[in-house]
Structure formats: structure tokens, C-alpha cells
């Protein structure tokens, strides 16, 4: 299983450092799972042997006049080679269009990054039926090379993110099955994953891992999630 922790706009540089040393220590002998942590850009640090550090976002440039952004040069300093692209919060709150997302995707493939590419539908699409869901999700693959060898896809229904209401086991199973017929890469589920639902979610055949927000913010609790699978 793949376990990815997305801190979003949480944690500081110092709290991230102690988080990573705690988590690395806890999982040190456990090689059965792959673990990623995505801290905020101000708290980037080098990966450890058992925790890969990735960046939540970056601009598609080496460096340059892109106020407020970070580029490849800043990531190189920390040896970062993993990035989240297409998270719904960037699409919805920061206004990243599919065109921008696809450009970013292409740039980071050219630079050999491991990409966790996020897709997910809003509630009104989910409520208008499964065909609409799949149509919406398929459009989020426009401009994306789904055969990129270093690709992981994360399905995160927007209505399940940070709401405490995860998708049901049936909804995850059916959606992941349909996605697996489009992409043949590891597929993560994200959206209110926590200690009470991780066992059931991780036992779905088509779920290769989870992308976790709030339930990942405490290193010991995140490790409990990992250990319970």
C-alpha cells in the first residue's frame, strides 16, 4: 500500500522536522508500505530512507520572474523529485485550469518527477449520476500522459475532502474499477480517510493506497493508519 500525507497549509518547518523524524523512526523496519509526505514549501527537507518528501505544488520553470512560486532550482536544493499535481484545492481555490495543470504535468514529467496526479468530482456531478462522474473525471485526463511510467493517480471526490464524509466502499469500488479501465497505474483514494475507515478502504482490490489530509497531521496517528493495513 501507498500512504501519502498531504499537510496542505499546516505544520511549520520545525514541526515538520520532528514529524518526519518520529515517522521515520516508527516505520524504520516496515518495508511493506511506501510512504510519502507533502509538507508546505517552507518546510521542505530531504527524504529519509523510508519517507519520501514531495512538494504540494511548484511552477513549471527552473527559476525566474514568477512571484510567489517555487521552481525546479528550489526543489533541487532539497533533492525533491515528487510532486502533487491537480489537487482540487488548487483547481478550485487557486483557479488552476486543466490547461495549466497539464502544462505543469508535462514539465515535471520532462524532469523525471514522480507525480501524484489528483482528480475528483464536485458533489453536483456525483449527484447527477455515475456517467457524469466518469465524464468529469475523464476530462481531467485531457493533456495528461497517462502512460508516464512514474505516475500515481489519486481519486479524491471533492465532497469527501475535509468533510468527515468519506465516499462509501461501493462508491470507491465502482469508481476505482472504472478508472482502472482508463489508467493502469497505482490508484489512491483520498477524502476523509481515517482510522475508522482505513481497513475497509484499503481492503478494496482497486485501491493501491490512500492520500490523507487531516488524519495525517499527527505522525503517531498517521503511523497507526499505516500499521492497521
Which residues are identified as catalytic?
Answer: 87, 156
**Size, binding site for ligand 13P by CB under 6 A:** 14
If the CB atoms of residues 61 and 214 are measured against ligand 13P, the closer one turns out to be 214
Euclidean distance between CA atoms 114 and 207, whole angstroms: 19
Given 96, 121, 156, 208, the residue binding ligand 13P (CB under 6 A): 156
Query: What are the beta bridge partners of residue 212?
Result: 5
Stretch that binds ligand 13P, among 57-65, 137-145, 206-214, 218-226 (CB under 6 A): 206-214
If one asks whether residue 212 binds ligand 13P (CB under 6 A), the answer comes out as yes
**Closest distance between ligand 13P and the C-beta of residue 175, in Å?**
15
If the CB atoms of residues 47 and 192 are measured against ligand 13P, the closer one turns out to be 192
**Closest distance between ligand 13P and the C-beta of residue 57, in Å?**
12
If the CB atoms of residues 36 and 141 are measured against ligand 13P, the closer one turns out to be 36
Q: By C-alpha distance, which of 158, 161, 171 is closest to 204?
A: 171
If the CB atoms of residues 113 and 117 are measured against ligand 13P, the closer one turns out to be 117
Residues of the shown chain interacting with ligand 13P in the complex, contacts defined by CB under 6 A: 6, 87, 156, 161-162, 190-193, 211-215
Amino acid at each position: 500500500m501507498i500512504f501519502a500525507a498531504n499537510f496542505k497549509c499546516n505544520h511549520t518547518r520545525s514541526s515538520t522536522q520532528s514529524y518526519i523524524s518520529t515517522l521515520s523512526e516508527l516505520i524504520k523496519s516496515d518495508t511493506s508500505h511506501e510512504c510519502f509526505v507533502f509538507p508546505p514549501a517552507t518546510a521542505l527537507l530531504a527524504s529519509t530512507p523510508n519517507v519520501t518528501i514531495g512538494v504540494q505544488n511548484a511552477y513549471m520553470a527552473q527559476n525566474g520572474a514568477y512571484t510567489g512560486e517555487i521552481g525546479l532550482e528550489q526543489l533541487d536544493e532539497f533533492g525533491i523529485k515528487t510532486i502533487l499535481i491537480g489537487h482540487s484545492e488548487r483547481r478550485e481555490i487557486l483557479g488552476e485550469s486543466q490547461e495549466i495543470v497539464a502544462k505543469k504535468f508535462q514539465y515535471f514529467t520532462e524532469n523525471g518527477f514522480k507525480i501524484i496526479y489528483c482528480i475528483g468530482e464536485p458533489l453536483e456531478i456525483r449527484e447527477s449520476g455515475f456517467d457524469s462522474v466518469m465524464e468529469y473525471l475523464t476530462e481531467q485526463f485531457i493533456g495528461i500522459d497517462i502512460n508516464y511510467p512514474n505516475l500515481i493517480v489519486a481519486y479524491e471526490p471533492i465532497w469527501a475532502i475535509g468533510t468527515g464524509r468519506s465516499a462509501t466502499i461501493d462508491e470507491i469500488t465502482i469508481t476505482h474499477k472504472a478508472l482502472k479501465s482508463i489508467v493502469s497505474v497505482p490508484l489512491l483514494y483520498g477524502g476523509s480517510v481515517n482510522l475508522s475507515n482505513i481497513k475497509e478502504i484499503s481492503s478494496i482490490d482497486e485501491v493501491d493506497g490512500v492520500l490523507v489530509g487531516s488524519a495525517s497531521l499527527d505522525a503517531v496517528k498517521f503511523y497507526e493508519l499505516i500499521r492497521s493495513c
